Structure 1
């Protein structure tokens, strides 16, 4: 049986079809632009168009489809919330998809799909004993997904794994969620770039800030990366203290900073509730930008 997945992103919609009988071999993969500025109904029509194109390529129609979505479907109301593709918020996306596509649809947050794919097809394959896998997203935003025994834990409110909106810095930057000093407003890429600009008066990308840190000649770059490492250590230690996963996989652009896995790991040791002992594997993802769409198919 083929497994169909859609990754509904802010700029692109991607469809992948996996063959469950052939070790999840990729049968087909195709993308279309989301064109979210044209509104909710246009997104639905783009999804339908993409699925029809892929169905023609593989010679069969899907019998069910998994979707990785920005934001999450509220369990009680069955309406979307917390999506940065704002035209999705408040809409009955699952109901509308099932109506327009004529097949059962399963929706999960894109960070949850990332965590599921990495647990089953990516980094998790090297850590077979890890019953609890936490997938961290550290990029433009900060999100996360929790997988226990190969199953996404979406939670009572559908916000399981949302570690990015806990307060990390008292009196910190205001967040769109209504709080201030959230993890996302401290260690996301844009937040770190804003910190550097406040300190130096100069606007630089994280890539250049990291280069300047490595050169050791820019005190503002040093302060920015030190801020990242220290607050990363605090934030990840809280995750470990609460759920103690057997594996943490870190995706997103900031997750490519190699210092997180060395100096950052030592910062976690300072705060973990385990007498300074930490053996949790914390690794980079194996699937690249395929994790979202593969995770959707695995739903």
Structure 2
């Protein structure tokens, strides 16, 4: 059996999968925030509990974490769980758990899950997209995660918005401090901030992205204009990915993946910026929802 762990800022979720992908056990525990040693203990306790519930031996462990992971050392950097930064989490977990551990960015785990037995199953090239509080992504080719030599494969949130319009320059400040990155336009927070600019209110007072979507569905003109701008920017940004990777399928995850209209409206906007006359890439919602990250960690 294999154990997948999804390390979040408030909770650590674990799932045990049988070799055929069937779920044997699942549980979550609170994250001991700002306590690295406490996190190691919590994960070990969680594994022992799940191993007992699953009724067998866990032989392999995978963990998805926020931020980037050095592919050689397993050291975590970036991400919002700052107490992990600079720590050899992979080796420390292997020592604590007494079995092999693989570690990857949580967006990569999402992409792997959806490629192995999710919405992208059977596809040669899958690009997994996270549209949530941030913008992330992962690349899976023939069932194998492509992390890259710098361990930043799929980090499309930190490329500039393609073909920016005059009023999109230089663009809002990204979470990394650079203006105009895709994350500064396409995260849930960014959509809400764009709506705030449209109606002339402080971004701190903006309704959440899902409320903006609901207002657009209710016929509010300012909200509809905001969603149309979002769809255009998403189309331009994903067209860049298609021109580089030419994936069979793009799978959306995160809170904004639940906006049903995107799957009808965005493909045409992607096609308008794709090189050549043919555009056959499918844009689809994820299959495993909030479970994609933890399942992908198990598949590592």
Q: CA RMSD for the aligned pairs?
A: 1.5
Tell me which residue corresponds to 2:215: 212
Aligned residue in 2 for 1:144:
137
Q: Could you tell me which residue of structure 1 aligns to residue 243 of structure 2? A: 241
Q: Is residue 48 of structure 1 aligned with residue 47 of structure 2?
A: no
Instruction: Assess if the C-alpha contact under 8 Å between 1:167 and 1:179 holds in 2.
Output: no
Counterpart selection for 1:25 from 14, 22, 42: 22
> 1:121 maps to what in 2?
117
State how far apart, in whole Å, the 1-side matches of 2:208 and 2:67 are. Answer: 26
User: Structure 1 residue 59: deviation in Å?
Assistant: 3.6
Please report how far the alpha carbon of residue 171 of structure 1 lies from its aligned counterpart in structure 2 after TM superposition.
0.9
Q: 1:12 touches 1:32 (CA, 8 Å); kept in 2? A: yes
Aligned partners of 2:60 and 2:114: how far apart in 1?
Answer: 22
In structure 2, what is the Cα distance between the partners aligned to 1:84 and 1:289?
A: 19
Who is 2:276 aligned against?
Answer: 274
Q: TM-score, normalised by structure 1?
A: 0.92
Separation in structure 1 between the aligned mates of residue 73 and residue 175 of structure 2, nearest angstrom: 22
Q: Secondary structure at the match of 2:261?
A: helix
Report the Cα distance in structure 2 between the residues aligned to 1:191 and 1:171, rounded to whole angstroms: 15
Shift of residue 188 of structure 1? 0.6
| 2:15 counterpart of 1:34 | no
| 1:104 counterpart residue number | 100
Provide, for residues 225-265 of structure 1, a one-character-per-residue CA deviation record: whole Å limited to 9, x for no partner. 12211100110000000000011110111111122211211
| Correspondence for 1:94 among 79, 85, 90 | 90
Determine if contact 1:117/1:298 at 8 Å carries over to the other structure.
Answer: yes
Runs of 4+ in 1 over 6 A off after TM superposition: none
Give the TM-score of the pair, scaled to structure 2: 0.92
- Distance (Å, rounded) in 2 between the aligned partners of 1:154 and 1:58: 31
Query: Which residue, out of 207, 222, 236, partners 2:224?
Result: 222
For residues 211 and 129 of structure 2, what CA distance do their matches in structure 1 show?
A: 23
Name the CA distance, whole Å, in 1 between partners of 2:135 and 2:160. 12
- On the 8 A contact 1:4/1:16 being kept in 2, the answer is yes
Q: Are the aligned partners of 2:74 and 2:103 in contact in 1 as well (CA < 8 Å)?
A: no
Partner of 1:197: 196
Superposed displacement of residue 222, structure 1: 2.2
Separation (CA, whole Å) in 1 of partners of 2:211 and 2:66: 29
1:153 match: 146
Name the structure 1 match of 2:164: none
Q: Which residue of 1 aligns with 2:9?
A: 10
- Report the 3-state secondary structure (helix = DSSP H, G, I; strand = E; otherwise coil) of the residue aligned with 2:171: coil
Deviation track 1:76-112 (CA, whole Å, cap 9, x = no partner) reads 4542112221111111111111121121100111111
Whole-Å Cα distance in 2 between the matches of residues 190 and 256 of structure 1? 15
Structure 1 residue 46 displacement after superposition? 1.2
Determine the C-alpha separation between the residues in 2 that align with 1:213 and 1:190. 16
User: Could you tell me which residue of structure 1 aligns to residue 157 of structure 2?
Assistant: 164
Question: Equivalents in 2 of 1:58, 1:135: separation in Å?
Answer: 29
Unmatched runs of 5 consecutive residues or more in structure 1: none
